[in-house]
Amino acid sequence: MGTGKRGLITAAVTVVCAVTVLAAPGTAFAAPTPKPTATAPSTASPTPTDSPTLPPNKDLEAVRKKLDKLYHDAAVATDEYNAAQEKAQKQSAAIVELAKKIVEGQKKLAELKDRAGAAARAQYRTGGLPPTAQLMLSDDPQQFLDGAGRVLQGQRATKGLIGEMTRTQQDLQRYAADASDRWDELEANRRTKAAAKKKIKQQIAAAEKLQSQLEKKEKERLAELEREAAYRSQTAWLDSGILKEINGKASEQGKQAVEFATAQIGKPYVWGAEGPESYDCSGLTSQAWAKAGRPIPRTSQEQWKQLKHVDIKDMRPGDLIIYFDDATHVAMYVGDGAIIHAPRPGRTVTLAGAGEMPILGVVRPDA
């Protein structure tokens, strides 16, 4: 094996120590602020936010909408962060497995070389003559016949040993190449995570700066406007008569997921968090269903892509409601038109109306 391949193998084995650092989760997050109008937000790619300033005359409704956008942009970046984190964990596990195979392959190759060396030493002890030549010098016919069989067996064994050594070397080369590719993927995801993390912090900092410019009474009025907008959206949703059509009963696993989510009420929202002390939106739903014995994708966008879609009238407790056109928020339906979700930075896991945000659709983890 060339020095280049040996270097790859060494690097792959070293990866076992390195992957823990590269794949370690950062702090946490994931969810946009409820956008209380019936119109879904634009799906255009968000652009970096300039330093936020208050609208003229402190138009608090405009402030509310601007905060919605900042937190929504943060949620988009959070889904990117969570997706990169999930991929990095899988890639790290794959690299560790490849490194183990390389170590085992190196051990096997060393054993094969020892066997080849033992055969060479045995030949040296017989004066260096090959078995065929020794056989031709024998005067004993029976010894000749017995020896002929042993020579044939020895030739087959030698051929098998060489073949096994060749295959083992090829396996090691393939494992090393795979480990190198996985390492490159892991590095790419690390960069994606870092970029998403930076963007999340920028959006949250901009929102906090905007809010810091408000006086106490203005903050109270802003909170009131948010509640009024959520109430209007929920009322409009209920007035559609949809609740009369929703009468599904939770499955056993659905009940367990709802119980878990309910027990998390009051815990803070932190981007990238999966519990047990804090959660982001998809961290809460994925952990709830994991506890119910049904692992699901980590991000709201992948939950929307991979889980079975069900009609909203067939919704039952435990199902997940995906919000916004870009699927950047998720909540758990718990019945009677209500959800449990982790809303956004600065908030806690809470009970809310299912219609307070624009619904993209419903998915069922245990379909």
Q: What is the pLDDT of residues 147-205, one digit of tens each?
A: 545 545 555 656 666 777 777 777 777 777 777 777 887 888 788 878 888 888 888 88
CA proximity to 341, closest of 289, 297, 280, 286: 280
Q: What is the mean pLDDT of the chain?
A: 76
**Confidence at residue 91, expressed as pLDDT on a 0 to 100 scale:** 77
Q: Please give the average per-residue pLDDT across 125-145, as a whole number.
A: 52
Radius of gyration of the chain (CA): 32
Residue 89, pLDDT score: 79
Positions marked catalytic: 281, 329, 341
The half-sphere exposure of 292 on its side-chain side, counting CA atoms within 13 A, is 24
Give how far the C-alpha of residue 169 lies from the chain's centroid of Cα atoms, to the nearest Å.
33
Structure tokens that stand for 188 in this block: 């790419």
pLDDT at 82 over 50: yes
- Whole-angstrom Cα distance, residue 279 to residue 262? 13
Pairing of strands 320-323, 359-364: antiparallel
| pLDDT higher at 340 or 205 | 340
Q: How many whole angstroms separate alpha carbon 177 and alpha carbon 12?
A: 9
Residue percentage of the chain with pLDDT more than 70: 71
Query: CA 185 to CA 194: how far, in whole Å?
Result: 14
Residue 103 pLDDT: 80
Tens of pLDDT, residue by residue over 19-75, are: 333 333 333 323 333 333 333 333 333 344 444 555 544 588 888 888 888 888 888
Residue 281 pLDDT grade (very low, low, confident, very high; cuts 50, 70, 90): very high
* pLDDT tops 80 at residue 309: yes
Write b or e for each residue in 51-73: b if 16 or more Cβ atoms lie within 10 A of its Cβ, otherwise e. ebebeeeeebeebbbbbbbbbbb
Mapping DSSP to helix (H, G, I), strand (E, B) and coil, where does residue 359 land? strand
Does the structure show a pLDDT above 90 at 88?
A: no
Contacts of 225 (CB under 8 A, 6+ apart): 60, 61, 64
Do 343 and 67 contact (CB within 8 A), yes or no?
no
What is the structure's pLDDT at 101? Answer: 77
